[in-house]
Structure 1
Amino acid sequence: MKKTISGLLILPFIGLAITPLFMYVNFEDNIIPIFTDGTWERLTDPLSKDYNEYWSWLIIFRTSSDAFIMLSSLFLLYLFLQKSHHLPRLMIIFIAMNVIINYVEYKLAKQISEMNPSLNPTLFALLGAIIWIPYFKISKKVKQTFSKQNEIT
């Protein structure tokens, strides 16, 4: 019997569906201008008054992690729609990586005296992990929906 994506599974599905859109808007509004309006040069030039060695690390980390999240969410969305038996394991890795990414970004931002980063994104990601990792590990609905016999090929 084919299982549908319903119940609580709708929530991570919606999250995966909107994440690439948010990440694209973030790239357009925040990331691309850093490299096109002189911000990169101003923040990473040792002769600049705004220089801090951690700016380059933070900008590169943020750009690459945002690209990772955008591409990973698209791939996971595809696996979700295919009802792939690989999805639960990869979703758990994705959720854990999100916590790690948020924490590393927080620690890098703390090294820049002009910034007063909030730990809230990390705590929010951790709360999500506390809820969703066990759900993807032990839920009967997840096991029934994402099984080899339900995969769409």
Structure 2
Amino acid sequence: MSFLPADQQEPAHTPLRLGVSGLGGWLILIQIGLYVTLIQLVIQINQYTIPSFESETWNALTSKGADLYHVLWKPAILFEAVFNLGMFVMTIFCLAFMYMRKRIFPKLMIVYYSVSLLGGIADYALVQTISSDVGLDLDNSLRDTFRAVVTCSIWIPYFLRSERVANTFLR
């Protein structure tokens, strides 16, 4: 309540219209993508990463003299395990920061997509080197790397230029 006469009172503060904001629009696809990635990582960790460390598989790939032995299997398996677990944790952080509408979220997503691409390239390079000696199928690895390139080329500019992103993540 103001004690000034009506003609001397400051006008009521009206909030600025920000334009589009909220977790709608294209951000729905980001949410879906993060949840799908989370599910894919759980499946990948359960189907490939954990079984790779079982003694029979580990020995078949990393023991000299074994039919499938290659000197890079051990670093490749360890890299994929650390990378997948790291991406799992990062995906959870991204989801949490998105729903808290933290200012850091757009930058975190740019880092997330970039790390995903760089990890895919590193994984492809490791598997490429091993496959030339062992005869592995690289179609999935190459497809995943291409998908990461396309994802980065679409979503990084979106996070840098989107009005919705700028108006939503303010805290």
What TM-score, normalized by structure 2, do the two folds share?
0.82
Match of 1:20 among 38, 51, 58: 38
Match of 1:6 among 17, 21, 24: 24
- The 8 Å contact of residues 16 and 77 in structure 1, kept in 2 or not, is answered as yes
CA drift of 1:37 comes to: 5.3
- The unaligned stretches of length 5 or more in structure 2 are 1-14
For structure 1, which segment, 1-10 or 117-126, has the greater mean C-alpha deviation from structure 2 after superposition? Answer: 1-10
- The unaligned stretches of length 5 or more in structure 1 are 149-153
Aligned counterpart, 2:145? 122
Greater than 4 Å deviation, 4+ residue runs: none
Larger radius of gyration: 2
Aligned counterpart, 2:10? none
Deviations, residues 82-123 of structure 1 (Å, cap 9, x unaligned): 010000011001001111011100000011122231322111
Aligned length: 148
For structure 1, which segment, 12-21 or 53-62, has the greater mean C-alpha deviation from structure 2 after superposition? Answer: 12-21
- The 8 Å contact of residues 17 and 74 in structure 1, kept in 2 or not, is answered as no
Aligned counterpart, 1:79? 97
Aligned counterpart, 1:137? 160
For structure 1, which segment, 15-24 or 101-110, has the greater mean C-alpha deviation from structure 2 after superposition? Answer: 15-24
What TM-score, normalized by structure 1, do the two folds share?
0.91
Q: What secondary structure sits across from 1:7 in the alignment?
A: coil
Match of 1:43 among 47, 61, 65: 61
Matched, 1:30 2:48: yes
- The 8 Å contact of residues 109 and 116 in structure 1, kept in 2 or not, is answered as no
Aligned counterpart, 1:67? 85
CA distance in 2 between counterparts of 1:15 and 1:101 reads 18
User: What's the % identity of the aligned pairs?
Assistant: 28
Aligned counterpart, 1:90? 108
- The 8 Å contact of residues 22 and 164 in structure 2, kept in 1 or not, is answered as no
For structure 1, which segment, 64-73 or 43-52, has the greater mean C-alpha deviation from structure 2 after superposition? Answer: 43-52
Deviations, residues 33-84 of structure 1 (Å, cap 9, x unaligned): 1212511111101121221001111111111111111110000000000010
CA distance in 1 between counterparts of 2:149 and 2:97 reads 23
Matched letter for residue 7 of structure 1: G
